[in-house]
Amino acid sequence: MPTVPIKPPTISPRIERLLLVPLFALPVLWLAGYFFPPINHDVAAILDVSARWVGGEKLYVEVIDENLPLTFVVHSLPVLTAKLLPGSVAFWFTAWVVAGIFASFVACRRLVRLVPSADHALTEALLPPVLLFLFSVLPNEHFGQREHIMFVACAPYLIASMARAEAVVLARGAAIAIGLVAGVALAMKPHYLAIPAAVELYLLFRRGWRTTLVDPIPWSIGLMAVAHLVSMYTIFADFGLVIMPLAIEAYAPIGDSGWHGVLTSNVLAPTLIALLIFGIIATVFTKTISARVLVVFGIGAAISAIAQAKGWPYHVLPALSAAIMLAALTVSQTVDRYLPISRSGHHLPVAVISATLMVLLYFQAALYTPPFYKQRQFEDSIGGRLQHVLEQNAPNRTFLVLSPGIYPIWPMVNYLEGRMTMRFLSLWILQGVYATCDDFPALYNPPDTMGDAEKYVFDAVSDDFAREHPDLLLVDRIAGVPRCQGKEFDYLEYFLQNRVFADAFEGYEHLMDFDRYKIYRRKKK
């Protein structure tokens, strides 16, 4: 008997939309969780510096940090918003990042339709929810880090580059806007410029130099990078002439894993392997030009992470995002090209495949890092408990912290609306100066033999302490430097060598030992 062809199951557009709604609703709910404390500690520290700068303190003189000027220009936006509208700086920072995510998502969704190789049922349906996942869910505790902001701002540039690789010419205004937004984000760290360098070099070989010369996107990115560089020696001359040499001398050795260590780290090494495997599959079997752009973008992002030589997980976030996006593109392109689905009958398979892959991504993300575990445990964390201590014992919300680290002082400072009374956020310069212990050195360098950087910190911190008379002095018992002569480095003992600091310290009494901190309170008169 002749076989009767089985008619594939179909679904109504309404059911299809119901299947796809969670793929967009879940990230929105996830984003709402970021409004609860705490914000990321590095983000909090940058916001505090930006607030002090906006409040009138001279950047790189009265408040000192090793980050580039554009970082504080960008982060001053939520500070200024909080001055004009109700809500804290932390709230408005999260609000601005969320707004940026939605703006980038809308732009990317429109740009995907311009990519010829994405003009297929599954590819066009899958890439937008994957991007929304990468923007909102993947960062988790690193939400708002500069790598996260950079990827969100550069996603339209990435999709536009896929289109450009396939000979699509973008409208001039849109291209300039894409380039300028990406340029601002990429200029926040010099390492990020490895990404446009890799992408534009690939496009140069693919399209030729004539097309590249008249493309406004690379020129817009380059303009922002050059303008930022010039500002470091004009508007923010203190950074270029003072802080940059200081950072090269003292910040570079901190947490330095070396490029070998970063390259073979638990996150970057698997990411590079995934980029290689997915890249081979996508370029060899699906012949997808846009996949090559993703591979090049991922390689540039990996070079950026390696160049920073710290091995911190959030440095790998853009490269990891590129690898996940490449996986989604590989799957969708394989189905679209080898198992072509007609536009009229694609509803059920596209909805089911998209939902299945996205649930897998959410499931894996939840296993890798429990969602919002820091928010759920904030009250019982060291930051939450230390905040209560300071609320009870610092009536003016002023304190000076002798520590090599940022957490948990930030974001506690932000939520208390308190003030650090020294120009440095941490003692990273001393951590760099004492990064190694040579044979038979003195535990502390005598003041008359200190180098310029160390002497500057030694005197500046002492002067700030004596001038400001903070409510509390917190001394970190974990110095972050190697033991020397069998002894631990003690920041209080170190600064008591300075007569100015020692005289001011006579006005303080021991309050308590809390976790890793010795806390001293100003004596009541």
Q: Are residues 349 and 229 in the same domain?
A: yes
Beta pairing class for 508-514 and 517-522: antiparallel
71 and 153, same domain (yes or no): yes
Q: What is the pTM of this model?
A: 0.90
How many Cβ atoms sit within 10 Å of the Cβ of residue 483? 11
Q: Is residue 321 part of a domain?
A: no
End-to-end Cα spacing for the chain: 105
Provide the residue range defining the domain that includes 491: 378-522
Are 35 and 137 found together in one domain? yes
CA–CA distance from 40 to each of 5, 36, 69, 102 (Å)?
Answer: 57, 11, 20, 20
Please report how the helices 146-165 and 89-112 are oriented relative to each other, as an axis angle in degrees rounded to 10. Answer: 10
In whole angstroms, what is the distance from residue 26 CA to residue 85 CA?
Answer: 28
Same domain, 358 and 440: no
pLDDT at 21: 74
Q: Which of 374, 397, 416 is the last residue of a domain?
A: 374
Which one, of 142, 206, 148, 217, lies nearest residue 177 by Cα? 217
Give the pLDDT confidence score for residue 439 in this predicted structure. 55
Among candidate residues 374, 392, 413, the one where a domain is terminated: 374
pLDDT, position 235: 96
pLDDT at 493: 94
Domain check: are 364 and 385 in the same one? no
Looking at the structure, do residues 359 and 455 belong to the same domain, yes or no? no
Query: Do 352 and 423 belong to one domain?
Result: no
In a domain, 176, yes or no: yes
Backbone CA torsion sign across 429, 504, 445, 491:
negative
pLDDT at residue 510, as a whole number? 96
Please check whether residue 323 lies inside any domain of the structure: no
Burial 220-247 (b: 16+ CB within 10 A, else e): bbbbbbeebeebbeeebebbbeebbebb
Query: Among residues 330, 356, 374, which one ends one of the domains?
Result: 374
Contact by Cβ (8 Å): 290, 259: no
Q: Is residue 86 situated within a structural domain?
A: yes
Note the pLDDT of residue 10. 58
29 found inside a domain: yes
Residue 481 covered by a domain:
yes
Blockwise average pLDDT, block size 10, the chain, 525 residues: 52 64 82 92 96 96 94 98 96 98 96 89 86 93 96 98 95 97 96 96 94 95 97 95 82 58 72 82 80 93 86 86 90 76 60 75 73 82 90 94 92 92 92 74 84 92 96 94 83 95 96 94 86
For residue 304, tell me if it sits in a domain. Answer: no
Please report the pLDDT score of residue 485 as a whole number. 75
Domain assignment present for residue 319? The answer is no
Regarding whether 351 and 456 lie in a shared domain, the answer is: no
Which pLDDT does position 51 carry in this prediction?
97
Per the structure, the count of domains in the chain is: 2
Residues near 16 by beta carbon (within 8 Å), at least 6 away in sequence: 347, 348, 350, 351
352/389 same-domain check: no
Same domain, 155 and 235: yes
- pLDDT for the residue numbered 250: 67
**Coil vs helix vs strand at 518:** strand
State whether 352 and 498 are in the same domain: no
Interacting residues of 58 by C-beta distance below 8 A, sequence separation 6+: 238
Note whether 424 and 505 are same-domain residues: yes
